[in-house]
Structure 1
């Protein structure tokens, strides 16, 4: 179960990183996630079926995801549509676009090699998944760390932290926000392509609930690795994704039906949101009690 959870967690890590960029760095609730995820899957599988190599197909999926993010960013920053509504509008439009890309609701790889097939047979499919996806995830983490260490990346973080201050310091906040949207949804689309490779097909409805998965994984990662350093924050997203998949695998092992995993995912998100708040209140109560005891 653990090996499978690690493999699945690595496949989902780019999505979690994408959600982290909008949700934590830009402080924006972006629902484009549920459209860009199947977009990446649809483009990746369609590109493969048209004769493209696996890695090229994944790159195309990433690029189309960035375009989806740019569209949401323009709706939000240039047309002044609220972020939540801008994401819903792009998500709605992507449903039709994904249908046109695939030609039908479900598109399977037929007589095509998946990403896992790129390496010789060593152990189980779960082990091969880890061997293939780990370098990709490490590469993504490394590139993001380098990016956030540059002036451009620092400007993006400043915009998310304090938009008014960033503007007064000459940072073009709108451009930085659009860039954040683009990188986020590109990573989410990449994850969609990786998941489609692992499953062997793309489905029009595979994006449903992905925002919940991403948010729960982000919060789990932050609980497990509490650090202000960007490198550890990025690594914590991968850890959160693996822990989340481990929890789901454990739930299925104790008899929870796959049909109930969506509501179980929602409950996980509720717990990881509420638990830190309860813990903080208990700490404050304990400190107050200790202070009152000292006064006596």
Structure 2
């Protein structure tokens, strides 16, 4: 039950990774830092006595700022996208330490958004928390679906597919990249704030290698459900985030320890990328789309007969 709960929270994070990795076709490593930035901001504000909801939203805002910095470095500074994300991620390590004042901030006696659920004894024991978290993540899913269906969202999709073509139609592709990176890391920052409250602590190292978690969620979910439509693709990444957590939970139960989880995540991503190309799994996309094929056109005997030389 706890694996499903945290998997749903990581579903919000996976939606942010989906926007950059799949829609914008941008390898954004900022998320390794912006997840912690959202958690650190929320923790610092909650410790200062601020409303937990406002503190969580502030975590999303600081995530948006981090994403915008990466976008500006890439578009205006002409720095390679991968390097721009790495530079922002490295800078955020020091900034996150400044925000928290130390390497971790536990939520001992502070009220958080998760506190009422924990005091009720529902955490990891009932389906109530799962339904609440599912409702929250579906709100963000619907927002992403709606946003990508707007004119701006369509321009962002076109930027990811063919930047030169859409620029010829007068679209400001630099602006589209900055906006997408901001929204993506805003979702990541929100997820970080919620995950820190769920875990009871905001830690400086909670974002290390977390990009692999997002990629595993996106790749696993879309390998199972596909990405034929936007609503299906966003649903797939949420399912993938929950599935990833269940796989990790199963690995811990059968004897693996916490130190093996990074290796398990890397192997999981590799398997999700390679297995669909081999054996029976290679036929899954064709099986899924078989019902959508158009019927073959009928040919008359005269048309089918070979022509004389």
SS at match of 1:115: coil
**Residue in structure 1 matching 2:10, options 9, 12, 19:** 12
Query: C-alpha distance in 1, partners of 2:111/2:54?
Result: 13
Query: C-alpha distance in 1, partners of 2:7/2:91?
Result: 28
Task: Return 125-134 or 10-19, whichever deviates more.
Answer: 125-134
| CA-atom RMSD in angstroms | 1.6
1:97 maps to 2:95: yes
Task: Give the deviation of 1:164 after TM superposition.
Answer: 0.7
Residue in 2 that maps onto 1:221: 221
**Structure 2 segments unaligned to the other structure (5+ residues):** 284-309
Query: C-alpha distance in 2, partners of 1:240/1:174?
Result: 30
Query: C-alpha distance in 1, partners of 2:274/2:11?
Result: 23
Task: Give the deviation of 1:90 after TM superposition.
Answer: 0.2
SS at match of 2:25: coil
Residue in 2 that maps onto 1:185: 185
Deviations 1:266-286 (A, max 9, x none): 111111111122249966xxx
Q: Residues 73-222 of structure 1: matches in 2 within 5 Å?
A: 73-119=71-117, 124-126=122-124, 127=126, 129-222=129-222
**Pair member with larger Rg:** 2
SS at match of 1:125: coil
Residue in 2 that maps onto 1:35: 33
Task: Return 110-119 or 196-205, whichever deviates more.
Answer: 110-119
Residue in 1 that maps onto 2:298: none
Q: Residues 238-257 of structure 1: matches in 2 within 5 Å?
A: 238-257=238-257
Residue in 2 that maps onto 1:48: 46
Cα–Cα, structure 1 residues 282 and 5, in superposed 2: closer, same or farther, change >3 Å?
closer
Cα–Cα, structure 1 residues 82 and 130, in superposed 2: closer, same or farther, change >3 Å?
same
TM-score when scaled to structure 1?
0.91
Residue in 2 that maps onto 1:62: 60
TM-score when scaled to structure 2?
0.87
Query: C-alpha distance in 2, partners of 1:243/1:166?
Result: 36
Task: Give the deviation of 1:115 after TM superposition.
Answer: 1.8
Deviations 1:53-101 (A, max 9, x none): 1211110000000000000000011111001100010001100100000
Query: C-alpha distance in 2, partners of 1:41/1:133?
Result: 18
Aligned residues: 281
Task: Give the deviation of 1:134 after TM superposition.
Answer: 2.1
Residue in 2 that maps onto 1:291: none
